[in-house]
Amino acid sequence: MNILASGMGWIDHTHGGLNRYFADYTAAMQARGHQVTGLMTAHGEQTSAPPYIQEVLPKQAKVSPLSRSQAFASRFRQVIREERPDVYNPHFALYASMITRNLVPEDIPIVTHFHGPWAQESQVEDRGGRMMQKMRYQLKKNVEQLSYRRSDYFIVLSRYFRDILAEQYGIPDTRIHIVPGAVDVDRFRPADDREAVRSKLGLLPGQPVLFCARRLVRRMGIEGLIAAMPQVIAKLPDTVLYIVGDGPLRGRLADQIQELQLQRSVFLLGKVSNEKLVSWYQAADLSIVPTVTLEGFGLVTVEALACGTPVLGTPYGGTKEILDQFESQLMFHDHSPEAISGRISAVLSGECGIPSRAACREHVLERYTWGGVSESVTQLFEMAIADRRRLKVR
């Protein structure tokens, strides 16, 4: 099958769940034997993207979102002419917005990966005036609806995002298919010698280590996690928390750490390499996912579990769906600092039992592999292609 997919950026240029998914997903579909062409932009900068991934900007440049969208449409027309794909698979509404249905041959279905409500996510983080917030939200919502009305089918990573797509965008349930995300289980795996990994990271033997990998934005709940740490440290003084990721909240979080006098217990590491990310997962005693809202899947949850590290998370969205199927004791009651500190302390002290590291790994191997995802997506693409060809015959 010849698949044309369009994403957003590339993972070693811009970190984030969508870019991580797009990189691993296109690799999995290629490994399954499909011919994949993936479109993305890293603003023309050098990346580690494989040959089947194309940068849509010809040279390094910081251009407007409109110009980037036009570049996607231009490269799309070229690929349609030269490669004649069997299916078009967009992953980001903005960059697919100028690819109108009349640019897509009638027999080629559009199957959209819905990675979340872009307008709503932006609204949560928007710090502008109320009128400007409303205008930006409506503009982004219009772009989303313009892109989605062209799609034959949709792929979502969770029931939570299925419900958002149906309720907020008016998409019938019959056109929405749930295919949970996955993780590269060869990359994200338990350490052969966990103590050696901990030593290399400068961690003390026996020290309770908490780890959190998140973008530093409000909906990720990092402020609440930091606010919970004084209560954790009061019970378990040697506990440390390492936070990987970057974002607009970094300055505020650094101030919060200082105000709470947590400089010896909570550390902001910023961006780290993919290799170092795996090491932190392997070394941690617990990985924490304190998201407040709009957690569509929770890739970091699956990454940590694949490394054998138990995850404590808030009971929302995709995180809840992953942990509900595994062990409900791994969920906080809510996202309050009291709920977070109480559960962390109970687990670290042994008052609350949790699954073994081996059980965490096994849960991922049973449910969240790219082999399973590529099989499910292939079946949906085949159905969409058959539907389009029947329409053309009529």
* 174 and 315 belong to one structural domain: no
* 224 and 245 belong to one structural domain: yes
* 34 and 169 belong to one structural domain: yes
Q: Are the C-beta atoms of 265 and 240 separated by less than 8 Å?
A: yes
Q: In what order do the strands lie in the sheet containing 87-90?
A: 53-55, 35-40, 2-6, 87-90
Q: What is the mean pLDDT of residues 365-386?
A: 97
Confidence at residue 58, expressed as pLDDT on a 0 to 100 scale: 82
pLDDT band for 188, please (50, 70, 90 cuts).
Answer: very high
Q: Are the C-beta atoms of 265 and 235 separated by less than 8 Å?
A: no
Taking the C-alpha atoms of residue 394 and residue 392, their distance in angstroms, rounded to an integer, is 5
DSSP 8-state secondary structure symbol assigned to residue 85 = -
Assigned domain for 108 exists: yes
Cβ atoms within 10 Å, residue 4: 24
Taking the C-alpha atoms of residue 393 and residue 390, their distance in angstroms, rounded to an integer, is 5
Assigned domain for 146 exists: yes
Structure tokens at 387: 């539907």
Assigned domain for 358 exists: yes
Chain segment 106-115, per-residue pLDDT in tens: 999 999 999 9
Taking the C-alpha atoms of residue 293 and residue 295, their distance in angstroms, rounded to an integer, is 6
Domain that holds residue 131: 2-182+369-393
Chain segment 65-92, per-residue pLDDT in tens: 889 999 999 999 999 999 999 999 999 9
Cβ atoms within 10 Å, residue 347: 19
Residues ≥6 apart with Cβ < 8 Å to 86: 1, 2, 3, 108, 381, 385
Assigned domain for 187 exists: no
* 116 and 246 belong to one structural domain: no
Assigned domain for 170 exists: yes
DSSP 8-state secondary structure symbol assigned to residue 330 = G
- Kindly report the length of the chain: 394
Assigned domain for 162 exists: yes
Confidence at residue 78, expressed as pLDDT on a 0 to 100 scale: 95
Chain segment 24-68, per-residue pLDDT in tens: 999 999 999 999 999 999 888 888 899 999 999 987 777 888 899
Structure tokens at 105: 């041959």
* 274 and 341 belong to one structural domain: yes
Structure tokens at 167: 């309720």
* 105 and 74 belong to one structural domain: yes
Q: Where are the beta strands (DSSP E) in the chain?
A: 2-6, 35-40, 53-55, 87-90, 111-113, 153-156, 176-178, 209-213, 240-244, 266-270, 286-289, 311-313
* 167 and 198 belong to one structural domain: no
* 381 and 251 belong to one structural domain: no
Confidence at residue 62, expressed as pLDDT on a 0 to 100 scale: 75
What are the Cα distances from residue 61, in Å, to 43, 55, 71, 72, 236?
Answer: 5, 12, 12, 15, 50
* 356 and 382 belong to one structural domain: no
Taking the C-alpha atoms of residue 200 and residue 198, their distance in angstroms, rounded to an integer, is 5
* 163 and 307 belong to one structural domain: no
Domain CATH code at residue 141: 3.40.50.2000
Taking the C-alpha atoms of residue 23 and residue 183, their distance in angstroms, rounded to an integer, is 11
Region of 350 (left: φ > 0; alpha: ψ -120 to 50; beta: rest) is left
* 277 and 220 belong to one structural domain: yes
> What whole-number percentage of the chain has pLDDT above 90?
83
Assigned domain for 188 exists: no
Q: What are phi and psi of 129, to 5 degrees?
A: -65, 160
Confidence at residue 295, expressed as pLDDT on a 0 to 100 scale: 87
* 226 and 307 belong to one structural domain: yes
Chain segment 212-230, per-residue pLDDT in tens: 999 999 999 999 999 999 9
Taking the C-alpha atoms of residue 348 and residue 286, their distance in angstroms, rounded to an integer, is 9
Domain count of the fold of the chain: 2
pLDDT band for 124, please (50, 70, 90 cuts).
Answer: confident
Residue 157 has pLDDT above 80, yes or no: yes
Assigned domain for 335 exists: yes
